[in-house]
Amino acid sequence: MEVRLSFGDGAADAEGDGGAGEAVSLYRWLAAEPELRGQARVSLEAERPEAGHMGGALDLVNVVLSNGIALGSLITAVATWRGSRPRPPQIRLERDGVVVTVQDGSPEAVERILRVWNEGGAPAPAPADADSE
């Protein structure tokens, strides 16, 4: 199972790097996460902006998980990393075409993401801490 992680709405951040610095930081965090060792292959990749949009390549973190149990560990690790940032960015997680935005690291937000993905992308009404697109 593959999960792609990107930042915010894909627009360049305040440093003008399109999230590249955040992507590298998150990549390192996930690569060192003990709960994911042996369960996930983590890589960085660049994505070109859509036609008609200005800007350079956006860095994404791509995670390939060996099983469904590791999915909960991934979401928890992402939420924990986000909470460690001085200015926590929004993180977009995409799995099988269903995109969820992480705005909070609460256990309820993690549960909600898993529920949305397990129900095949039919999101429930979004609380203030996380929403689906």
Q: At what angle do helices 69-83 and 20-32 cross, to 10 degrees?
A: 130
Q: What residues make up the domain containing 125?
A: 2-132
pTM over 0.85: no
**pLDDT truncated to tens, each residue of the chain (133 aa)?**
899 998 865 444 444 455 678 888 999 999 999 999 889 999 988 765 555 555 545 578 999 998 888 888 898 899 899 889 888 888 889 998 888 888 777 788 888 888 888 876 554 444 444 444 4
Q: Say what the pLDDT of residue 90 is.
A: 84
Q: Say what the pLDDT of residue 81 is.
A: 92
d(CA 42, CA 93): 14
Look-up: residue for tokens 């003008």? 16
In this structure, the strands spanning 130-132 and 2-7 are: unpaired
What DSSP string runs through 59-101?
EEEEEEESSTHHHHHHHHHHHHHHHTSSSPPPEEEEETTEEEE
Q: Say what the pLDDT of residue 89 is.
A: 85
Number of structural domains in the chain = 1
Do 92 and 8 touch, CB atoms closer than 8 A? yes
Q: Say what the pLDDT of residue 130 is.
A: 45
Q: Say what the pLDDT of residue 131 is.
A: 45
Q: Say what the pLDDT of residue 47 is.
A: 63
d(CA 123, CA 119): 8
d(CA 68, CA 114): 10
Q: How many CB atoms lie within 10 A of CB 7?
A: 23
